[in-house]
Structure 1
Amino acid sequence: MTNNISELAALDRDHHMHPWTHFQQAERDGPLVMTRGKGVHLWDEDGREYLDAVGGMWCTQIGLGNEEMAETLAEQARTLAYTSTFVDMGNAPSARLAAKIAEIAPTGFTRTLFTTGGSTAVDSAYRMAQFVQHHRGFPGRTHILSRHASYHGSTFASASIGMRDGDRIEEFSYLEKTIHHLSAPNPYRRPEGVSAEGFTDFLVKELEEKIAEVGADKIAAFFAEPVQASGGVIIPPEGYFKRMAEVCHRHGILVVADEVVTAFGRLGEWFSSEAKFGVVPDMITSAKGLTSGYQPLGALIFSEELWQEMSGDRWFTHGFTYSGHPIACAAALKSIEIIERDGLLAHAKHVGALFQKGLKSLEDHPLVGETRGDVLIGCIENVADKETKALHPDEIDIGKRVSDAAEKMGLLVRPMGHLNVMSPPLIISEAEVEEIIVKLRASLDQVADQLVREGEKVA
Structure 2
Amino acid sequence: MTAFDDTAAAELARKDRAHALHPWGEVCPSADNGFMVEGDGAYIRDLEGHRLLDGVGGLWCVNIGYGRREMAEAIAAQVMRLPFYSAFIDTASIPATELSARLAEATPGDLSRVFLTTGGSTANDSAIRFLHFLFNRTGRAGKKHIITRADAYHGSTYLTASVSGKFSDLSDLDVLSDQVHHLPSVNPYRRPAGMSLPEFCDEKVADLERKILELGPETVAGFIAEPVLASGGVIVPPEGYHRRTLEVCRKYDVKYISDEVVTGFGRLGHLFASESVFDLVPDIITCAKGLTSGYVPLGAMILSETLCREASCGESAAFSNGFTYSGHPVACAAALTNIAILEREDLCGHVRRLAPYFMEHLGSLRDLPLVGDVRGMGFLAGVEFVADKTTARSLAPEVGIGKRIGAACRRRGVMVRPLGAAIGISPPLTIGREQIDILVSALRSSILEAADELTREGVRLAS
TM-score when normalising by structure 1: 0.97
* Residue of structure 2 in register with 1:34 after alignment: 36
Could you tell me how far apart the structure 1 residues matched to 2:246 and 2:323 are?
30
Change (3 A) 1:364 1:2: closer
Work out whether residues 34 and 47 of structure 2, in 8 Å CA contact, stay in contact via their aligned partners in 1.
Answer: no
1:233 aligns with 2:243: no
Could you tell me how far apart the structure 2 residues matched to 1:316 and 1:421 are?
37
* Residue of structure 2 in register with 1:323 after alignment: 326
Aligned ranges 1:328-343 → 2 under 5 Å: 328-343=331-346
Instruction: Give the alignment partner of residue 164 of structure 1, picking from 163, 166, 170.
Output: 166
How far the C-alpha of 1:391 sits from its partner, in A, is 1.3
Aligned ranges 1:36-435 → 2 under 5 Å: 36-170=38-172, 172-311=173-312, 312-435=315-438
SS at match of 1:314: coil
Could you tell me how far apart the structure 2 residues matched to 1:2 and 1:316 are?
50
Could you tell me how far apart the structure 2 residues matched to 1:95 and 1:77 are?
17
Residue ranges of structure 1 left out of the alignment (5+ in a row): none
Work out whether residues 264 and 273 of structure 2, in 8 Å CA contact, stay in contact via their aligned partners in 1.
Answer: yes
SS at match of 1:77: helix
Deviations along 1:316-371, one digit per CA (max 9) or x if unpaired, are: 11000000000000010000000000000001112222111111100000110011
Work out whether residues 5 and 44 of structure 1, in 8 Å CA contact, stay in contact via their aligned partners in 2.
Answer: no
Could you tell me how far apart the structure 2 residues matched to 1:2 and 1:423 are?
29
Paired positions, count: 456
How far the C-alpha of 1:87 sits from its partner, in A, is 4.5
How far the C-alpha of 1:421 sits from its partner, in A, is 0.5
Instruction: Give the alignment partner of residue 449 of structure 2, picking from 446, 449, 457.
Output: 446
How far the C-alpha of 1:273 sits from its partner, in A, is 1.0
Could you tell me how far apart the structure 1 residues matched to 2:75 and 2:419 are?
33
SS at match of 1:37: strand
Could you tell me how far apart the structure 1 residues matched to 2:307 and 2:376 are?
33
Change (3 A) 1:320 1:75: same
Higher mean C-alpha displacement, 307-316 vs 13-22: 307-316
Work out whether residues 21 and 27 of structure 2, in 8 Å CA contact, stay in contact via their aligned partners in 1.
Answer: no
SS at match of 2:25: coil
Work out whether residues 112 and 302 of structure 2, in 8 Å CA contact, stay in contact via their aligned partners in 1.
Answer: yes
SS at match of 1:252: coil
Could you tell me how far apart the structure 1 residues matched to 2:109 and 2:208 are?
27
Instruction: Give the alignment partner of residue 10 of structure 1, picking from 14, 23, 37.
Output: 14
Could you tell me how far apart the structure 2 residues matched to 1:107 and 1:78 are?
37
Paired letter, 1:211: I
Could you tell me how far apart the structure 2 residues matched to 1:146 and 1:414 are?
24
SS at match of 2:384: strand
Paired letter, 2:422: L
